[in-house]
C-alpha cells in the first residue's frame, strides 16, 4: 500500500504552525472575552452610576417629602393638642355643670324642707310680737285689776307656748339642714355604714321637692316599696345620693315628657323599691314615662350622650352614675320599652 511520507521539516512546520494557531486562537478568544467583560463591566458601572443617581434623586425627593410631611404632622399635632386642651376644658366645664345641676336640685329640695318650719317660726314670731305688744299696753295701765292680771298671764302663757313652737320648728329646720349636710358633704368621700332605705327615701324627697320647686304644676304618684330586712351597707352616701337623684330626675323628666303628649288620662307613676338578694341589695327606680328607644339603649351610658334639649342635660349623669356604681363594685342595669316604662336597677354588693 502506497503511503505518503511526511518529512521532518514538514513535521516541524506542521507542529509549530498547529501550536501557534492554537495559541493565537486562545489568545484572540481570551482577549475578545476580556474586552467583552470590560465592556460589560463598563456598562454595568454606567448603569450602577445611573441607578445611584436616580437613587440619590429619589432620596432627596423622599427627604423633602418627609420634611414637608413632618412639618404638616407637627402642625396637625399642635392643632390636635390645642383641640384636646379645649376638649378637656369643655369636659371639666360640663362635669362642673352637672355637679351644679345636682347641687341645684339638692338646694331646691332643702329649701322646700326648711321653708315649712321657717314659716312656722316666722308666724309664731309675728304672733309673739303682737302678744308682747298687747302685754306692754296692759303693763302701761295704772290700775292693774285681777282681770287684767289674768289676761296678762294668758298672754304670757301664749308667748311661752309660741316660743316653744318656734324652738321646736327651729330644731326641726336644724335637723333637716344637718341631715342634708350629712348627705351632701363632698369632702367626706369615705365609705360609711348607711341605711339604704333612708338614703333612697331622703333623696326621693329632695328630688321631688326640687322638681316641684322648678315646676309648680308637677304631679306624680310616688310609690315606694322598701324591704325592711336590708341592713346598713358600707357606701359613700353622697355618691349614691347623686346617682339616685340623677335616676329620679330622669324618671321625672320622662313622665313630664309623656304628660305633654299623653293627655289627661295619663297617670304618672314612679316606683322606688329596695330589695335584698343573696349577696346584694337592689334599688329599683321605675317610671311609666316615654321609655328608651332600642336604637339608643346601647348609648345611654356613654359620656355626653343625651336626648334632652340643649341646656337641659349634660349627658354625663348616667355615665357618672355608672362609674360610681362600678366603683362600689356593683352594677347599674336598665330595661325599658319605648312609650311604656323605664326601669333602672342599682345592684350594690351586701
Partner 1 sequence: MIDKLQLVLDWSEVWAPLIPMLFYLFNRHQPAYMKPVLIYLFIAFFFNLVGDIISFYKIYLPSWMQSNNPLYNIHSIVRFVCFGYFFLLLRQNNFSWLKKTLPLLSIVIILFNFIYLEDFGDPAHLSGNLLAAEAYLLLIYCILYYLAKLRDEDGEIGTGPDFWIVTGLSIYVVVNFFVFLFYVPMIDHDSLLAERIWNVHNVAYIILCLFITKALYVSSRYKFAI
Shortest CB 18 distance to partner 1, Å: 6
Which residues, 6+ apart, have CB-to-CB distance to 277 below 8 Å? 350
Q: What is the rounded distance in angstroms from the CA atom of residue 186 to the CA atom of residue 203?
A: 16
- Answer for which of 17, 20, 24, 26 binds partner 1 (CB under 8 A) is 26
Q: How far is CA 17 from the centre of its chain?
A: 105
Write out the binding residues for partner 1, residues 31-60 only, by CB under 8 A: 33
Instruction: CB nearer to partner 1: give 5 or 137.
Output: 5
* Residue 25 is a binding residue for partner 1 (CB under 8 A): yes
Q: What is the rounded distance in angstroms from the CA atom of residue 250 to the CA atom of residue 242?
A: 12
How many other CB atoms sit within 10 Å of the CB of residue 56?
A: 10
Q: What is the rounded distance in angstroms from the CA atom of residue 119 to the CA atom of residue 186?
A: 29
188 SS3 class: coil
- Answer for which of 11, 65, 69, 232 binds partner 1 (CB under 8 A) is 11
* Residue 13 is a binding residue for partner 1 (CB under 8 A): no
Instruction: CB nearer to partner 1: give 33 or 59.
Output: 33
- Answer for which of 20, 24, 30, 234 binds partner 1 (CB under 8 A) is 30
* Residue 4 is a binding residue for partner 1 (CB under 8 A): yes
DSSP state of 255: H
Rg (C-alpha) for the chain, rounded Å, is 48
- Answer for which of 17, 20, 24, 29 binds partner 1 (CB under 8 A) is 29
Beta pairing class for 269-276 and 192-194: unpaired
* Residue 304 is a binding residue for partner 1 (CB under 8 A): no
* Residue 3 is a binding residue for partner 1 (CB under 8 A): yes
Which residues of this protein are in contact with partner 1, per CB under 8 A? 1, 3-4, 6, 8, 11-12, 14-15, 18-19, 22, 25-26, 29-30, 33
Amino acid at each position: 500500500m502506497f503511503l505518503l511520507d511526511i518529512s521532518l521539516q514538514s513535521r516541524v512546520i506542521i507542529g509549530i504552525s498547529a501550536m501557534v494557531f492554537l495559541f493565537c486562537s486562545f489568545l484572540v478568544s481570551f482577549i475578545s472575552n476580556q474586552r467583552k467583560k470590560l465592556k460589560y463591566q463598563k456598562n454595568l458601572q454606567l448603569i450602577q452610576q445611573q441607578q445611584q443617581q436616580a437613587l440619590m434623586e429619589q432620596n432627596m425627593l423622599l427627604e423633602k417629602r418627609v420634611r414637608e410631611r413632618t412639618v404638616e404632622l407637627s402642625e396637625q399635632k399642635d392643632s390636635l393638642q390645642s383641640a384636646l386642651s379645649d376638649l378637656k376644658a369643655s369636659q371639666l366645664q360640663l362635669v362642673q355643670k352637672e355637679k351644679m345641676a345636682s347641687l341645684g336640685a339638692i338646694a331646691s329640695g332643702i329649701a322646700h324642707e326648711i321653708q315649712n318650719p321657717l314659716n312656722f317660726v316666722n308666724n309664731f314670731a309675728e304672733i309673739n310680737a303682737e302678744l308682747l305688744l298687747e302685754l306692754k299696753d296692759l303693763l302701761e295701765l295704772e290700775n292693774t285689776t285681777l282681770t287684767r292680771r289674768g289676761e296678762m298671764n294668758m298672754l304670757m302663757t301664749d308667748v311661752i307656748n309660741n316660743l316653744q313652737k318656734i324652738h321646736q320648728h327651729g330644731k326641726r329646720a336644724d335637723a333637716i339642714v344637718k341631715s342634708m349636710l350629712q348627705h351632701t358633704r363632698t369632702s367626706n368621700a369615705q365609705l360609711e355604714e348607711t341605711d339604704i332605705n333612708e338614703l333612697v327615701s331622703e333623696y326621693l324627697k329632695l328630688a321631688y321637692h326640687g322638681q316641684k320647686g322648678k315646676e309648680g304644676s308637677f304631679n306624680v304618684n310616688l310609690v315606694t316599696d322598701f324591704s325592711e330586712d336590708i341592713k346598713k351597707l358600707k357606701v359613700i352616701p353622697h355618691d349614691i345620693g347623686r346617682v339616685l337623684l340623677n335616676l329620679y330626675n330622669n324618671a321625672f323628666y320622662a313622665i313630664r315628657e309623656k304628660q305633654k303628649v299623653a293627655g289627661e288620662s295619663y297617670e304618672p307613676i314612679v316606683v322606688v323599691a329596695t330589695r335584698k338578694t343573696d349577696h346584694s341589695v337592689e334599688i329599683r327606680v321605675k317610671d311609666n314615662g316615654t321609655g328608651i328607644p332600642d336604637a339608643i339603649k346601647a348609648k345611654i351610658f356613654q359620656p355626653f350622650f343625651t336626648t334632652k334639649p340643649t341646656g337641659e342635660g349634660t349627658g354625663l349623669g348616667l355615665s357618672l352614675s355608672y362609674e360610681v356604681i362600678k366603683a362600689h363594685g356593683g352594677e347599674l342595669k336598665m330595661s325599658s320599652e319605648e312609650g311604656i316604662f323605664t326601669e333602672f336597677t342599682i345592684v350594690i354588693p351586701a
